[in-house]
Amino acid sequence: MCNRDDSSGAVSGERSAMGGVRRSHAAALAALGALLLLLLARLPPSAPATAPAPAPARQRAPDPAPSAAPPATRAPPAPAPPDTTPPRPAASAARAPAAPPAPPAPAAPPAPSELYTRELYVGGHERPHPELCPALGAHLRLLILVTSAPSHAAARDAVRLTWGHYAARADVALGFVLGAPPAALRAAIAAEDALYGDVIVGRSLDSYSNLTLKTLSMLEWVDTYCPRAPRLLKTDDDMFINVGRLLEFAAAPGRANATRTVWGKVVRRSLPKRTTKSKYYVSPVQFPAKVFPDFATGPAYLLTADCVRPLLGAAPAEPYLRLEDVFVTGVLAARLGVRRVHAPEFYNKKVAAHPCAVQRGLAIHMVRYHEQFDLWRKLLDGKTKCAS
């Protein structure tokens, strides 16, 4: 009995020991499983293979736990108002480029500036012909200078063949004053001058707006090559001049010894033309005054020799004015105290071609090539008797 009881107790103890080992193994496995689960829970979720993972939404940080007594200097921030300002231009190349600036508004045209005569006038002469005035004009009674355009060869021929014949006298000299011609006419001008030797060519470009420059070129030529001629007639190539009567006019009492005087058709209190459509337009920049000074009209006027140098010397300092008669016999003459004397014999306009009108007048304007010959014939008509 004792032996059986001892053996059963031994078996029971062995079973009890094996059960304890199993329970310890199970606990270890359970602990290991819990550790693996904890590690798996801390890993981020894996991304799906079929599509890129969307960017994680920005989560607001959790508010800190409120304390029993928050500091007095710290207050919860107020919610920011929505930003309504336009976005600023990108500061780096990584950002989108700024939109191009709008094109600037067209600038207003600059106001016309005041040009002085010295800025435009070019002195000297390409063809001076000093031989036209021997002894600087000491033996002359009258010097006639005809302003002409380079293309007006027919008009110059008509003058030479009619009233220009007076230049055959030893006491009268005649020449034609041109501005610098265009290249296309230079050969023709050279051929004409080689034939007649009476074409004086200045250096300023020949144009209608440069008539003042041409007249100044004429005055320069007189001052340089013919300063001793007592009288100068400035005229144009479309004028008929009664030279014989003009010599009598200059020698009449009260004129023979006159000084610093201009005779012609004098216009008084003329108003500048301010409309740009006018041939005689003058801008307020060129001439700001409301009334022109008295002036002798440009087709023909007679000067005493002592006017030439003062007029030429005063011109450079004056604002340029393209109306040569207003500028020379008006603006400059008034500034220098030169007298402007009206002489009705200077018609300076187109008149009825009656022999008596031609014989009494000194200067007739707007005369075409063929009309020069008709007026010349009527001037020399010995049959018509005209009342004095």
Closest CA to 240 of 374, 57, 124, 337: 374
| Reported confidence tier of residue 386, pLDDT bands at 50, 70, 90 | confident
More reliable by pLDDT, 179 or 7? 179
**pLDDT of 259-282, one tens digit each?**
999 999 999 999 999 999 999 999
Q: In angstroms, rounded to a whole number, what is the distance separating the alpha carbons of residues 367 and 369?
A: 7
| Reported confidence tier of residue 38, pLDDT bands at 50, 70, 90 | low
pLDDT of residue 192 exceeding 80, the answer is yes
Q: In angstroms, rounded to a whole number, what is the distance separating the alpha carbons of residues 176 and 183?
A: 19
Output phi, psi for 310, to 5 deg.
Answer: -60, -40
- 33-42, 158-167, 192-201, 295-304: least confidently modelled range: 33-42
pLDDT at position 381, please? Answer: 84
**Which residues fall within 8 angstroms of residue 383, CB to CB, at 6 or more apart?**
none
pLDDT of residue 33 exceeding 70, the answer is no
Cβ-contact 243, 172 below 8 angstroms: yes
**pLDDT of 359-370, one tens digit each?**
999 999 999 999
More reliable by pLDDT, 58 or 130? 130
More reliable by pLDDT, 385 or 77? 385
Q: Walk me through the domains of the chain, giving residue ranges and CATH numbers.
A: 117-378 (3.90.550.50)
The alpha carbon of 270 is separated from its chain's Cα centroid by a whole number of angstroms, namely: 28
**pLDDT of 44-84, one tens digit each?**
554 444 444 444 444 444 444 333 333 344 444 444 444 44
Give the Å distances, CA to CA, from 61 to 81, 176, 337: 20, 103, 98
Q: In angstroms, rounded to a whole number, what is the distance separating the alpha carbons of residues 185 and 191?
A: 10
Give the Å distances, CA to CA, from 94 to 87, 98, 101, 104: 15, 12, 20, 28
More reliable by pLDDT, 305 or 285? 305
pLDDT at position 58, please? Answer: 43
**pLDDT of 343-383, one tens digit each?**
999 999 998 878 998 999 999 999 999 999 999 999 998 88
- 87-91, 130-134, 257-261, 280-284: least confidently modelled range: 87-91
More reliable by pLDDT, 85 or 178? 178
Q: Which helix H or strand E contains 195, and what residues bound it?
A: helix 183-196
What single-letter amino acid sits at 381?
Answer: D
Closest CA to 123 of 312, 328, 318: 312
Average pLDDT, the chain: 82
Residue 103 has what DSSP assignment?
P
pLDDT at position 114, please? Answer: 77
More reliable by pLDDT, 276 or 85? 276
DSSP collapsed to 3 states, 346-363: ECCCCCCCCHHHHHHCCE
Q: In angstroms, rounded to a whole number, what is the distance separating the alpha carbons of residues 276 and 346?
A: 30
Q: In sequence order, what DSSP letters do the residues of 14-32 get, joined into one string?
A: HHHHHHHHHHHHHHHHHHH
Q: Hey, what's the torsion of the CAs at 110, 282, 273, 264, to 10 degrees?
A: 180
Q: Which two tokens stand for residue 1?
A: 């009995």
pLDDT at position 119, please? Answer: 95
Q: In angstroms, rounded to a whole number, what is the distance separating the alpha carbons of residues 364 and 241?
A: 7
Q: Which two tokens stand for residue 309?
A: 């140098």
C-alpha angle 113/116/119, rounded to 5°?
A: 105
**pLDDT of 298-321, one tens digit each?**
999 999 999 999 999 999 999 999
**Which residues fall within 8 angstroms of residue 260, CB to CB, at 6 or more apart?**
304, 306, 307, 310, 336, 337, 338, 339
pLDDT of residue 5 exceeding 90, the answer is no
What is the β-pairing status of strands 142-147 and 231-236?
parallel
What is the β-pairing status of strands 199-205 and 142-147?
unpaired
Torsion 373-146-347-307 (CA) sign:
negative
pLDDT at position 36, please? Answer: 61
- 128-132, 246-250, 283-287, 300-304: least confidently modelled range: 283-287
Overall residue count recorded for the chain in this entry? 388
**pLDDT of 207-263, one tens digit each?**
999 999 999 999 999 999 999 999 999 999 999 999 999 999 999 999 999 999 999
Output phi, psi for 48, to 5 deg.
Answer: -65, 150
More reliable by pLDDT, 201 or 16? 201
pLDDT at position 185, please? Answer: 97
- 51-60, 101-110, 204-213, 323-332: least confidently modelled range: 51-60
Q: In angstroms, rounded to a whole number, what is the distance separating the alpha carbons of residues 168 and 56?
A: 114
What's the rounded mean pLDDT across residues 30-55? 53
C-alpha angle 362/366/371, rounded to 5°?
A: 85
